[in-house]
Amino acid sequence: MTAQTTAVWRKRAACRGIDPEVFYPASDEDAGQAKAICAVCPVREACLEHALANREREGIWGGATERERRRIHRQRRKSA
């Protein structure tokens, strides 16, 4: 994904203008608010793929916690 493509989907992000701290909860159990916002985000898939491609270690991206993204990586490796 190019920087330009990233800029395009970020403009449509449901989290624009929302306190970024919401997306960096102290624990997975506190991720509910961020996940609820991601659930209605029109660019959720692009956001998740961006996080997976860039190995984002922290925060909620595309509605997935870091642990959930690790699981997705594992599943994809298995089915590759």
**Contacting residues toward ligand SF4, per CB under 6 A:** 13-15, 23, 37-38, 41, 43-44, 47, 60-63
Minimum gap (Å) between residue 14 Cβ and ligand SF4:
4
Minimum gap (Å) between residue 47 Cβ and ligand SF4:
3
Instruction: For ligand SF4, give the closer residue by CB, 13 or 52.
Output: 13
Instruction: For ligand SF4, give the closer residue by CB, 43 or 69.
Output: 43
Residue 63: closest CA among 17, 9, 13: 13
Whether 28 contacts 11, CB under 8 Å: no
Instruction: For ligand SF4, give the closer residue by CB, 16 or 77.
Output: 16
Measured at the CA of 28, the angle between CA 51 and CA 8, to 5 degrees, comes to 25
Distance CA 33, CA 30 (A): 7
